[in-house]
Amino acid sequence: MIRSLFKRWKGQSPQDSLVSSTSEMPGERPPADSRARARALVMALQDEICAGLEQIDGSGRFQEESWERPEGGGGRSRVMREGRIFEQGGVNFSEVQGEELPPSILKQRPEAKGHPWFATGTSMVLHPRNPFVPTVHLNYRYFEAGPVWWFGGGADLTPFYPFLEDARHFHRTHQEACDSVDERLYQVFKPWCDEYFFLKHRQETRGVGGIFYDYQDGSGRLYRGQDPEGPAARKASEIGAVPLSWEQLFALAGANGRAFLPAYSPIIERRNGLSYGDRERQFQLYRRGRYVEFNLVWDRGTIFGLQTNGRTESILMSLPPLARWEYAYQPAPGSREALLTDLFTRPQDWFGDPSLEDRCRPHQAVN
């Protein structure tokens, strides 16, 4: 099944021939049917991912609810509960519009102020039952506000028990998707993901990352994050301008969205059969608490949804069904839980650092 998913993804990858950056004009206007095409793309990703996840789970099914937003637009939320693999998970589609963007967006794009806006996207969070299967998140979106437009999105992996090969596979698959549009993108989007999914109050990443990008508008500016001195900003400065057309950015969203199942499915197949006990379950619930903290305190998607009067149940479907907190918890020194905490919640060079294998091997956490 995994081979067929990967072949299907490969067959749908975007065009290999790219428009020369010298022909790109910053501020390019989107095509006349941009909104319809973006909507169709994210709806198709929702359909494809839901169908693939139901096939993988084997017994769980997504229940769909459609909703309307009084100020304009709406969406469809699909939630699976008590599946064979997924304790709970949701895959959302939304298409919303309004007269004034919320502060969380205007802070980054003040030139959009005063313009009617449109946004469409798909987002997903899956919480498997087995602690050896990681939680995973995906989001791809498109915005327009008057003359301003941009694409954003990404996917990241949050393991509870570490396996180096899982982190590498997830990153490798998304790197290949980025490379299908431009080989410089992953070099910025990987550290940007480490930076974005970071719990400042805990000084740790949410997991092993993946890719993250935002405000990609064809101007050639790859990085528009919060840390102008950080690794992503430095790499973007080193690379220089990478002007991408609307069509290329549209292709990037499609390539990465279709990369999700090949990136995540093999991890499920490798780990879901592993046996676990109460210790592993309790540690999973404890680490899920960190996921809740990030989504409620730092996540811009949650903030945007609430500020724009989105459907609360759909916005908060990213939260796990069960989680716990423990005062001043410290994992036992030398334990696998300590390896997760010390290594897999810190930004890593997953492909270029040979010491990772040496640190993971004593815990049987390489393969």
DSSP per-residue string spanning 293-343:
HHHHHT-HHHHHHHHTT--HHHHGGGS-S-----TT--PPTTSHHHHHHHH
What are the two backbone dihedrals, phi and then psi, of residue 168, each rounded to the nearest 5 degrees? -65, -40
By the 8 A CB rule, do 231 and 10 touch?
no
Q: Is the pLDDT of residue 73 over 70?
A: yes
> Could you confirm whether 137 is annotated as catalytic?
yes
What lies within 8 Å, CB to CB, of 337 at 6+ separation is: 161, 283, 331
Task: Say what the pLDDT of residue 142 is.
Answer: 98
Q: Is the pLDDT of residue 210 over 70?
A: yes
What lies within 8 Å, CB to CB, of 335 at 6+ separation is: none
Span 90-147, pLDDT tens digits: 999 999 999 888 787 888 788 888 899 999 999 999 999 999 999 999 999 999 998 8
Tokens 């570490």 appear where? 162
- Among 115, 127, 137, 169, the active-site one is 137
